[in-house]
């Protein structure tokens, strides 16, 4: 018995067993079940075990699928571009322009606190800004930029992307800031001594060294946007669709097999995207 407890494999698995149990029951088994159900047949009232490719055939045969997948990638790409530019700039400012650690921590916390508050409420809070009689419209009208309220502010792709950027920029700021804080300041001094100007230091020293953080942020933002179904529904006023909404519509109609097939294709897409991104970074080293 004592010998058994000295074996690191045994003690390791003992200590990790609660974690493994949770992941098995609430992650592995549900995914396996989704795979199985995606081959089942649905009637109006129930779902019947079967093994047929009809759900996938229907999915790939429908033009809606391609539009919706294109939309999903479009949201992911545009959101990624904005969150990267904003997140990088904010992290750069915090890491290299703020000189005392106390202020760095304080301002960093200021950026992360919204992450711990409700996403739904943060979405709702755009209504008074973007609505027909909202702040944006009335301000622009009083400035004479426009003559009558712009209709496309709320309930549009614009609103969807604005909400995504609002919700998820933190996921860029945190990992990029984390990597930047670990850059050896003497490298930057060396670059300056060697005659590099600010832009050259940024481009040739800081950005290459920040790449792992950028990759981790990218993984977060891309997966969150690709898997989303609430933000798109709420901010587009049900006028736009992404894959997540396609799935949730099927679920609402109790079409579980077709929802499962779409979910599997979405999961495969997300995992392939991440697989490509992971080629550029070793996450375990970066923590």
Partner 1 sequence: MEPRPRSFYVLSAFFALFVLFLYGPTLTIGILSFQGEGGGLTFPMRGVSMYWFYDLFEQQAVGDIWGSFRRSIFLGLMVMVTTVVVSVMGGLAFRKKFAGSGILFYLIITALVIPSILISLGIGLLFSQSGLNVHWSTSGFGAQLTWTLPFGLLIMFAVFNRFDKSFEEAARDLGASPWQTIRHVVLPIIAPSLIGVALFGFTLSYDEFARTLLTAGSYNTLPLEIYGMTTNVTSPVLYALGTLTTLFSLLIIGGFLALALLSNQRKARAGSDAGKGV
In the region spanning residues 94 to 133, those forming contacts with partner 1, defined by CB under 8 A, are 94, 97, 99, 107, 109-111, 113-114, 116-122, 124-129, 131, 133
Instruction: Identify whether the C-beta of residue 84 lies closer than 8 Å to the C-beta of residue 164.
Output: no
For the purposes of burial, counting CB atoms within 10 Å of the CB of 72, is it exposed (0-12), middle (13-18) or buried (19 or more)?
A: buried
Taking the CB of residue 267, how many other CB atoms lie within 10 A of it? 15
Q: Taking the complex as a whole, how short is the minimal distance between the CB of residue 91 and partner 1, in angstroms?
A: 10
Binding mask 153-182 for partner 1 (x = CB under 8 A): -------------x--x-------------
Q: Taking the complex as a whole, how short is the minimal distance between the CB of residue 161 and partner 1, in angstroms?
A: 13
Of the pair 14, 253, the CB lying nearest partner 1 is at 14
Distance CA 168, CA 119 (A): 10
Q: Taking the complex as a whole, how short is the minimal distance between the CB of residue 29 and partner 1, in angstroms?
A: 6
Of the pair 62, 89, the CB lying nearest partner 1 is at 89
Q: Taking the complex as a whole, how short is the minimal distance between the CB of residue 64 and partner 1, in angstroms?
A: 17
Give kind and range of the element (H or E) at residue 41.
strand 41-42
How far is C-alpha 194 from the chain's CA centre? Answer: 39
Q: Taking the complex as a whole, how short is the minimal distance between the CB of residue 194 and partner 1, in angstroms?
A: 19
Structure tokens, 214:
């950028």
Q: Which of residues 201-240 bind partner 1 (CB under 8 A)?
A: 219-220, 223, 226-230, 234
Distance CA 42, CA 254 (A): 9
User: Which of 16, 57, 190, 253: binder of partner 1 (CB under 8 A)?
Assistant: 16
Q: Taking the complex as a whole, how short is the minimal distance between the CB of residue 61 and partner 1, in angstroms?
A: 22
Distance CA 207, CA 176 (A): 10
177's CB contacts (< 8 A; 6+ apart) are: 90, 91, 94, 95, 108, 213
Q: Taking the complex as a whole, how short is the minimal distance between the CB of residue 106 and partner 1, in angstroms?
A: 10
Segment interacting with partner 1 (CB under 8 A) among 57-65, 144-152, 183-191, 243-251: 243-251
Residue where the block lists tokens 């996938």? 56
How many chain residues bind partner 1 (CB under 8 A)?
A: 83
Q: Which of residues 244-273 bind partner 1 (CB under 8 A)?
A: 244, 247-248, 251, 256, 259-260, 263, 266-267, 270-271
Q: Which of residues 65-94 bind partner 1 (CB under 8 A)?
A: 86, 89-90, 92-94
Distance CA 145, CA 136 (A): 11
Instruction: Identify whether the C-beta of residue 39 lies closer than 8 Å to the C-beta of residue 52.
Output: yes
């Amino acid at each position: 018995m004592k010998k058994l407890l000295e074996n690191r494999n045994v003690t390791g698995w003992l200590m990790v067993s609660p974690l493994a149990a949770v992941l098995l029951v609430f992650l592995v088994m549900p995914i396996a079940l989704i795979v199985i159900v995606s081959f089942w047949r649905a009637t109006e009232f129930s779902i019947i075990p079967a093994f047929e490719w009809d759900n996938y055939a229907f999915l790939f045969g429908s033009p809606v699928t391609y539009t919706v997948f294109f939309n999903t990638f479009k949201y992911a790409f545009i959101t990624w571009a904005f969150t990267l530019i904003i997140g990088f700039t904010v992290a750069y400012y915090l890491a290299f322009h703020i000189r005392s650690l106390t202020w760095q921590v304080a301002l960093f916390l200021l950026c992360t606190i919204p992450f711990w508050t409700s996403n739904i409420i943060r979405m709702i809070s755009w209504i008074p800004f973007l609505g027909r009689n909202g702040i944006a419209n009335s301000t622009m009208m009083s400035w004479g930029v426009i003559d009558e309220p712009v209709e496309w502010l709320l309930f549009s792709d614009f609103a969807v992307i604005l909400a995504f950027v609002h919700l998820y920029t933190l996921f860029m700021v945190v990992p990029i800031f984390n990597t930047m804080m670990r850059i050896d300041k003497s490298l930057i001094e060396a670059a300056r001594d060697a005659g590099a100007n600010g832009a050259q230091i940024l481009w040739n020293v800081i950005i290459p060294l920040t790449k792992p953080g950028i990759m981790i942020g990218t993984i977060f933002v891309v997966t969150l946007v690709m898997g989303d179904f609430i933000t798109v529904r709420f901010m587009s006023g049900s006028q736009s669709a992404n894959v997540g909404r396609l799935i949730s519509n099927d679920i609402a109609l109790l079409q579980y097999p077709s929802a499962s097939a779409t979910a599997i294709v979405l999961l495969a897409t997300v995992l392939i995207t991440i697989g490509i991104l992971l080629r550029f970074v070793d996450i375990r080293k970066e923590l």
